[in-house]
């Protein structure tokens, strides 16, 4: 896989979630994603950015335009140094929430993208990487 463009953004306050959404929209349009695919990626990014802020106590997202053979895609990596997720299997279950949400953030984001990877360690933080291919 080749990274042809990348950028990193802070996620420290609510306004940063909006900026992440805007950046993902811009990059998705540049890649030629359909409106449906743009919406899926923006929605997943918004959910994960909000989780990074609310549960991870803030962090970063790295945006990468990637190519694999003839495929082009957008990969986002959200990282925080928060408390981590004690029961990852449960956290990936629809309807599970430790907050006031509907419990669709992680599981919903996973369904909206082509590739989803999560690594978490209690007391050290969480990293979620998603990729959507054109």
Give how many domains the chain has, as a whole number.
1
In this predicted structure, which of 34-43, 63-72, 91-100, 108-117 has the lowest mean pLDDT? 91-100
CA distances from 8 to 29, 70, 79, 91, 106 (A): 18, 25, 11, 26, 21
- Is it the case that residue 60 has pLDDT exceeding 80? yes
Taking only the tens place, the pLDDT of each residue in 3-27 is 989 999 999 999 999 999 999 999 9
We report the CATH number of the domain holding residue 109 as 3.30.565.10
pTM (two decimals): 0.92
Handedness of CA 107, 55, 29, 133 (dihedral sign): negative
Residue 104's pLDDT band (cuts 50, 70, 90): low
Phi, psi of 34 (to 5 degrees): -65, 165
Between CA 101 and CA 106 the distance in angstroms is 11
Q: What is the mean pLDDT of residues 71-89?
A: 95
Query: Do 25 and 38 form a contact (C-beta atoms < 8 A)?
Result: yes
Higher pLDDT pick, 103 / 20: 20
- Is it the case that residue 111 has pLDDT exceeding 80? yes
pLDDT at 47: 93
Query: Do 43 and 112 form a contact (C-beta atoms < 8 A)?
Result: yes
Its domain, for residue 13, covers: 2-133
- Using only the alpha carbons of the chain, give its radius of gyration: 14
Higher pLDDT pick, 70 / 101: 70
Between CA 46 and CA 113 the distance in angstroms is 13
Between CA 78 and CA 115 the distance in angstroms is 14
Taking only the tens place, the pLDDT of each residue in 82-95 is 999 998 888 888 77
């Amino acid at each position: 896989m080749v990274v042809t463009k990348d950028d990193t953004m802070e996620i420290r306050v609510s306004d940063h979630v909006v900026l992440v959404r805007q950046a993902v929209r811009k990059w998705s349009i540049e890649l030629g994603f359909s409106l449906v695919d743009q919406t899926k990626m923006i929605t997943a990014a918004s959910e994960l950015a909000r989780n990074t802020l609310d549960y991870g106590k803030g962090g970063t997202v790295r945006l990468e335009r990637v190519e694999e053979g003839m495929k082009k895609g957008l990969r986002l990596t959200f990282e925080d140094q928060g408390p981590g997720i004690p029961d990852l299997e449960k956290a990936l279950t629809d309807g599970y929430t430790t907050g006031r949400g509907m419990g669709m953030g992680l599981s919903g984001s996973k369904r909206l993208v082509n590739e989803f990877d999560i690594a978490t360690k209690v007391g050290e933080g969480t990293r979620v990487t998603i990729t959507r291919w054109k």
